Amino acid sequence: EGIYAVGDVTGNVELTPMAIAAGRRLADRLFGPPSFQNAKVSYDNVPTVIFSHPPIGTIGLTEKEAIEKYGHENIKVYRSKFSNLYYGPWAVDPSEKPKTAMKLVCAGSDELVVGMHVIGMGADEMLQGFGVAIKMGATKADFDACVAIHPTAAEEFVTMFPWGMGKEASGARVSPLNGAAAPEPNIDT
């Protein structure tokens, strides 16, 4: 009693930010208000990046893991490979320009995004933002409903072919599909 372990020694996700998050939740439980007495960190869908050149980012299940978990017939995979627009004006043969490769792994009839993988310039920054969407239960339709920021590599994730062809199902608390109003917070009075 009174001895706690966080981080790599727990054998879960061995990343510094994961240890920090676990430590924060432990501090919340031990020293926070009663509303935090059950605070725990989630080890599901933790975005991870390998800071190589180019960087590699991943969150969620691989295609193989998704097939093993949900069955081949319940998985749809979207892929894209392209030259990052950053290299557009470079006087280099297109075949020599560094490529970016992306994959969305979706499961079920609602095409819940259960895995997202990218290698290429900006993968680290992309995963931080898209990680929130995936933690919140985003679907392919949610990605399709997001207006792309151009010119960026990240826009490929929200315009990935075929675009807008799947079931209109949202993982959001308030669906952003079909021009719906933005969600409003619950205000305690």
The catalytic site residues sit at: 150
User: What does the buried/exposed string (b/e) look like for 145-169 if buried means 16 or more CB atoms within 10 Å of the residue's CB?
Assistant: bbeeeeebbbebbbebeeeeebeeb
Tell me the C-alpha distance between 165 and 182, whole Å: 23
User: What does the buried/exposed string (b/e) look like for 50-85 if buried means 16 or more CB atoms within 10 Å of the residue's CB?
Assistant: eeeebbbbbbbbebeebbeebeeeebeebebeebbe
Phi, psi of 140 (to 5 degrees): -60, -40
Residue linked to tokens 């006087």: 91
DSSP bridge partners of 56: 50, 119
